[in-house]
Amino acid sequence: MSDRTVALVGLGNMGTPMAARLVAGGHAVVGVDPHPVARARLAAQDGRAVAHLRHASADVVLLLLPDSGVVEAVLGEALEEGLLGPGTTVVDMSSSDPERTRALAPRLAEAGVAFADAPVSGGVGGAEAGTLTIMFGGTAEVLADVTPLLSELGTVRHVGPVGAGHAVKALNNLVSAVHLWATSEAVVLAGRYGVTSQAVLDVLNGSSGRSGSSEAKWPKFILPGSFDSGFSAALMLKDIRTATGLAAASGLPTTLGETLEQLWSGALATLPAGADHTEIARVLTERADGLS
C-alpha cells in the first residue's frame, strides 16, 4: 500500500486530520478540495493538496464528503474523465445513504473499480489520534487490500457487504442522538433539584446511564460552552433521517427514532446554520430556563 498514491477527497473537519495522519504514516497522500483554505490547512501539516482529482493520479481514492449527492457527483465526473478504472480502489468514508451506496457499486464495477464504504465514528479527536472506529462494508478482498491504510486511522470493523458500513453508521448516530438528547434532558432536570451538571454527570458515568454523551460530549464540548465537536447538528439530523428511512423501507417500526427525528428537526430550526450538534443541549437548557 505504501507505494500507491492515495487521494483523500474532502479536506474538512475530519478529512484534514485523517490525511495528515496518513502523511505521517509514510503514505503518498494527495488531499483534494476545491477550497484554497482547506488545501492550505493540509499544506501546513506537510501534506500536498490539489483542487481536483484529475491532478492526483491516485490508485486509492478515499472520500470524506457531506452526503451521497456530492459523492455521486464527484465519482460521476471522475468516471466521465477516465480518472477511475481497473486497478483503482474507491472507499467512501462519508456518511452516505446506504441504498445509494449500493447503487453505486455496479456502476463502478463496470469500470473495473473496486469499491467499499467505510464511514467512521470518533470525531475530530479520534481522527487526530488515529482512534476512529471504521465501519467497513465490502468484500474480504478489498478489506485486505486497504486495511494497512485504514488501520493508520483507527480500528477497522468489517460489518458486511457494500452499503452495510453506511447503514451501521446511520444507526450508530441514531443511538448517539438519543443518548445526547436524553442526557441533556436529565442534566437540565437534575438542575431543578439543585444538582450541578458535573454532579449528575459523575453519577451517570459511574452508573448504567453512562454513554459517549455523558463521558465525552458533555464534559468536553457542552460544560465549557465551546460546542465545537466538529460534527454539525444538520449532519446528525441527516443521519437520523437515513436511519429512520432504512426502517421505513424495511417495514420495521421505529417509534423512538421517528419521535427523535421530529425533536431534532424542531431544535435545529432554532439554531444558526452550521451549528454543532452538541448545541442541542443549549437549546434544551434555554427552553427550560424559559419555563422557569
List the catalytic residues. Answer: 169
Q: Residue 25: phi, psi to the nearest 5?
A: -80, 0
Partners of 276 in beta bridges: 232
The C-alpha atoms of residue 28 and residue 20 are separated, in whole angstroms, by: 11
Q: Which H or E run contains 168?
A: helix 164-191
C-alpha grid cell for residue 205?
A: 458515568
Q: Residue 206: phi, psi to the nearest 5?
A: -105, 10
Let me know: does 115 contact 165? Beta carbons within 8 Å.
no
Q: In sequence order, which residues have a C-beta less than 8 Å from that of residue 115 and are 6 or more positions away?
A: 89, 90, 91, 92, 104, 105, 108, 109, 138, 142, 162
Closest CA to 127 of 230, 238, 233: 230
The C-alpha atoms of residue 87 and residue 84 are separated, in whole angstroms, by: 8
Let me know: does 64 contact 83? Beta carbons within 8 Å.
no
Closest CA to 227 of 186, 284, 166, 289: 284
Instruction: Give the dihedral of Cα atoms 9, 12, 17, 22; nearest 10 deg.
Output: 0
Query: With helix as H, strand as E and coil as C, how does 104-147 read?
Result: HHHHHHHCCCEEEECCEECHHHHHHHCCEEEEEECCHHHHHHHH
